[in-house]
Structure 1
Amino acid sequence: MRAPRSRIAFGLAALLLMAAGARAQSLIELYESARAHDATWQAAQAQHEATLARAEQARAGLLPQVGLQAGISRTEADIRTDAGTGPRNFNTQQIGVQATQPIYRPANLATYEQGKRQHEIARAQLALAEQDLIVRVSQAYFDVLAAQDTLRLVQAQKAAVGEQLAAAKRNFELGNATVTDTREAEARHDIVVAQEIAAANELQVRRLALDQLVGRSGTAPLPLAEPVVLPAPAQGDIAGWVAQAEASHPALAQARLALDVAGLEIDKARAGHKPAIDATLGYSVVNNPQGVIDSAMRTRIHAAQVGVQLTMPLFAGFAIENRVKETIALEDQARAQLADARRSVTQATQAAFLGLQAGAGQVRALEAAEASSQSALDANRMGYQVGVRINIDVLNAQSQLYQTKRDLAVARYNLLMGQLRLRQAAGTLTAEDLRPVNAALAAVAQSSR
């Protein structure tokens, strides 16, 4: 049993030395690294650029269309007249420029208006992607810190259980305790060793996840400064946060714009019944060096045309009517999706606000519980020394204390994440919101003093 445990202890020591030797990074530093590396964020940026380009395409339907046409042809004819029969072969060369300017095309105008909405939708989508990146980086950052705290506290608990095991053995040898105390301490020690192995593995997994997200190897997040001073909780009441979410959440803005786009799609469909009017302008040159079919005289024609063209649809096999029905149904769908998005945002904001309030209360309760658990452990140790408590009482008190410490550490990280998640739920989260959280980290706090 001793050899495997020694190897495990050596591996854990090496892990801690590696973590201590690495240069620690702040939350903002790792967030900036993630912006340059994360594939999900880069894909969102590429989608944003593609959407902007697609939106600009809609402008083309209102601008002039200019085309160049050129060609050469060979004509071989066999001409038969009363005077006889003879061949007539000649070449024709032509080149021309044709320009068309839409004057009245309601479908093109609706497409242009849709393009402007698509531009705004792209901005909303990018804002949502940025908020998601902030939360993902922060969560991965605090997951590593929580795993580090768990491993550190498990190792501290193992050391305390080891001391209690040694005390039980001494008391047994002196005849002041039974062998049961020793067996209980050994069992608890073995349990803590197993927990230590699991905690070390969890820390490695969390580190790998953070490394992958930020594109670095051997990341070492800065811990919270001691004494721990968390940022002040978000101000306001739940109704105010919900109102803010309904007014500015990018998901709601996107849904509203999608409803506008659906309404404009109806206008495009109805435009199928309307005429289209275009102004045309052209210039062409036709050269016949061997003449034309009825004359061998060389000709060269320069022609310019200007005019107005009207196109009026009369019957399209009921395609336009059914297209209108389709777009009206799609508008109803977009309206329902907007209502669903509004309810989802409201619920998420309320849940985030209540979770933040509960998290703050949990931190305060666990801070009190930590002090109470420490007092209970001290009392049980004193009672064990004077013989009014047994060994299992001390072991249980130790376990309670270290479990409370772990719960408190996790609750603090959850509270910090709750601040960010509330702003994400309200749609107002930006990179600037990381600064108060970053200020609670150790190195930042030290540099400010």
Structure 2
Amino acid sequence: MKRTLLKAELLKATILNVVALTPLTFVFGVVLWLLAPHASAHTLLEIYDMARSHDPAFKTQELSIMAAKEVLPQSRAALLPTLSVSGNTRKVHTSNEDAFIGNTLGPAGVLAPVTGQVSNDYNAIGYSAELNQPLFDPQKWYRYKQGQALFNQQEWEQVKAEQDLITRVTTSYFNVLREMNELTSLQAEKRAVKKQSEQLQRHFEAGLVDMTDVYEVKAALDRIRVRIIQANNRLQARREELIGLTGRGDIEVQPVFDSLIVEEIKPGNEKFWKDLAMQNNAEIKVANIEIAAAKENKNAARSEHMPTISISASYFADDSGVGGYGKAMSDTSTLSLNLNMKLFQGGAASSRSREAALRLDESKLRYLDKIREIEQNTATLFRTIHADVASVNMLKLTVNSHEEALKAVKAGYRMGIRNAVDVLQAQKAMFLAKRTLIDATYDYVSNIIELKRLVGVVDRDSLVFSDG
């Protein structure tokens, strides 16, 4: 089956320009054929899309951010008018044993009062409404300003969560590819050693070699079989990580090999990348907005001692029956201007003010520490990528050297000046060099994406590797 080479368009941002890596057709012949992508294989971008809609850690963080954003409408509501209504209905029963009933004529024609037991049952209805509007409440105003800052902070938390997911998916994706490369390389090495073992067995039967060489090759073959079992186990573990991210048990990773682009990043100025990180890094943005929120919290705490002014209007009505002889209707309307000032709270307000000031200092120090961390990580990663490029270029030469060395050792073996162990060691060195080269290429790509995350330009397009 003919393998379609993948050409990655890595770093589509204008700040990154790269050129194609020269294919090593002969070097990777067996490994590339074994790892040729199938129609059902999933690209890095497809796996990221799956993870974005499933990954429990990302979804949990997303819900947490959405919940935290509700602080803004809640703090804004404290500045708006509040209207409350209430009502009640009552069943009333009254009883009076000595109630005055009326007058009657006595024996002498004199009016005499008549008393007796009187009971009454009636319904009563009451209802009220009250409207309150703060006119001057600095604490509520500063809480609202703090809510705005916290809302903006959550916007950047969302960006940070998405960028973190990109790097987690990328790391998991290339971890699977590394184990696939390790496994298929060992399988190719196993076939080569097995073929050598069969040849030695025939030579031994013909009396051309002694039994030592045969046992040496068989022992090497057994060691490779053990390593294949271990590599397969590691591969399954890495696949489980992807399954956990995507929720899909049918994930097939699409490999990307020598078609990946490996070249120095441009501009090759370390300061440029540091400055870009200071401008765009999501973690720095979050830490900076945290300072603004802490300032408003400090203002709110200090304003607890200040007076508040509000206006309120209320209406109350009560409609009740009176002794069964009629109804009584009463209502009351009020409009008031309210002044409230807390003079003493047992020291609680002063304590909250000191706490808020300390929290502000804490957020400032955290911001400075985050700047130092991002600046240091950006510089380190920039230099690491530079070393990755040099390593890949040198490893290409190393692979070619090991191939030529293997040819020479095999020729010496045929001439009788080299033994089977020499051939085994040369083969092992060649396969190791090939695996190391592929791993170094994956390291380069992973580090490029991590650098883009640090400088705040990584996005979904950074994961696109297109055919061409």
TM-score interval, smaller chain: 0.7 to 0.9
Q: Distance in 2 between matches of 1:77 and 1:320?
A: 54
Choose 367-376 or 277-286, whichever is displaced more. Answer: 277-286
Q: Which amino acid aligns with 2:451?
A: L
- Quick one: structure 1 residues 20 and 433, their matched pair in 2 at CA, closer, same or farther if it must change by over 3 Å? closer
After superposition, residues 16-95 of structure 1 pair within 5 angstroms as 23-72=40-89, 93-95=125-127
**Matching residue within 398, 401, 413 for 1:369:** 398
The structure with the greater share of residues assigned to helix is: 1
Mark the runs of 5 or more structure 2 residues left unpaired by the alignment: 1-32, 99-112
Are 2:339 and 1:310 equivalent residues in the alignment?
yes
SS at structure 2 position matched to 1:289: strand
Partner residue of 2:104?
Answer: none
Q: Indicate conservation of the 8 Å contact 2:262/2:441, yes or no.
A: no
> Would the aligned equivalents of 1:154 and 1:192 in 2 still touch at CA under 8 Å?
yes
Contact 1:22 1:219 in 2 (8 A): no
Confirm or deny: 8 A CA contact 2:263 2:389 kept in the other structure.
no
Contact 1:352 1:425 in 2 (8 A): no
Residue of structure 1 equivalent to 2:316: 284
Q: Does residue 134 of the first structure (1) align with residue 151 of the second (2)?
A: no
- Matched residues in 1 for 2:286 and 2:213: separation? 66
Deviates more, 1:21-30 or 1:329-338: 21-30
Deviation at 1:409, TM superposition (A): 1.3
Per the alignment, residue 114 of structure 1 pairs with: 146
Q: Residue 28 of structure 1 aligns to which amino acid in structure 2?
A: L
Q: Counterpart of 2:426?
A: 397
Q: Does the Cα contact within 8 Å between 2:190 and 2:221 map onto a contact in 1?
A: yes
Aligned-partner Cα distance in 2 for 1:399–1:251: 45
Letter in 2 for 1:371: N
In structure 2, what is the Cα distance between the partners aligned to 1:221 and 1:78? 91
Pair 1:384-2:413 in alignment = yes
CA distances 1:38-73 after superposition (whole Å, capped 9, x unpaired) = 111111221121112232211111100110022346
- 1:88–1:305 CA distance, 2 compared to 1 (3 A): farther
Relative distance call for 1:181 and 1:216 in structure 2 (3 A) is same
Partners of 1:284 and 1:162 lie apart in 2 by: 98
1:304-353 CA-partner distances (Å, limit 9, x unpaired): 32221111222222221122111111111111211222222222222222
1:235 to 250, 254, 266: 266
Matching of residues 189-208 of structure 1 within 5 Å: 189-208=221-240
SS at match of 2:78: helix
SS in 2 for 1:185: helix
Paired position in structure 2 for 1:360: 389
Maintained 8 Å contact 1:107/1:268: yes
> Which stretch of structure 1 is more off in the superposition, 342-351 or 396-405?
342-351
TM-aligned CA distance change 1:183 to 1:405, over 3 Å? same
Q: Is the 8 A contact 1:70 1:95 kept in 2?
A: yes
TM-score normalised over the length of structure 2: 0.82
The 1:114/1:207 distance shift into structure 2, 3 A limit, reads same
Aligned to 1:11: none
1:175 CA displacement: 4.0
CA distance in 2, matches of 1:370, 1:19: 21
Q: Relative to 1, partners in 2 of residues 1:324 and 1:87: Cα closer, same or farther, differing over 3 Å? A: farther
Percentage of identical aligned residues: 28
Q: For residues 152-167 of structure 1, what are the structure 2 equivalents within 5 Å?
A: 152-167=184-199
Amino acid at match of 1:431: R
CA RMSD of the aligned region, Å? Answer: 2.9
| Stretch deviating more after TM superposition (231-240 or 316-325) | 231-240
Q: How many residues were matched structurally?
A: 419
Q: Secondary structure at the match of 1:100?
A: strand
1:431 equivalent among 460, 465, 468: 460
Could you list the per-position Cα deviations for residues 152-186 of structure 1 after superposition, in whole angstroms to 9, with x for gaps in the alignment?
11111111112222333344344443332222212
Q: Does 1:340 align with 2:372?
A: no
Q: CA deviation at 1:220?
A: 1.3
C-alpha deviation, 1:288, in angstroms: 3.5
Match of 2:10 in 1: none
1:145/1:94 CA distance change after superposition, 3 Å: same
User: In 1, are the aligned partners of 2:169 and 2:245 still within 8 Å (CA)?
Assistant: yes
SS of the equivalent of 1:412 reads: helix
Distance in 1 between residues matched to 2:180 and 2:346, nearest whole Å: 70
Say if 1:91 and 1:290, in contact at 8 Å, map to a contact too: no
TM-score of the aligned structures, taking structure 1 as reference length: 0.86
Letter in 2 for 1:396: Q
CA offset at residue 17 of structure 1? Answer: 11
Read off the aligned partner of 1:136 and give its amino acid letter: R
- Measured in 1, the distance between the counterparts of 2:123 and 2:228 equals 92
Question: Residues 366 and 407 of structure 1 are in contact (CA less than 8 Å); yes or no, is this contact kept in structure 2?
Answer: yes
Tell me which moved more, 159-168 or 46-55: 159-168
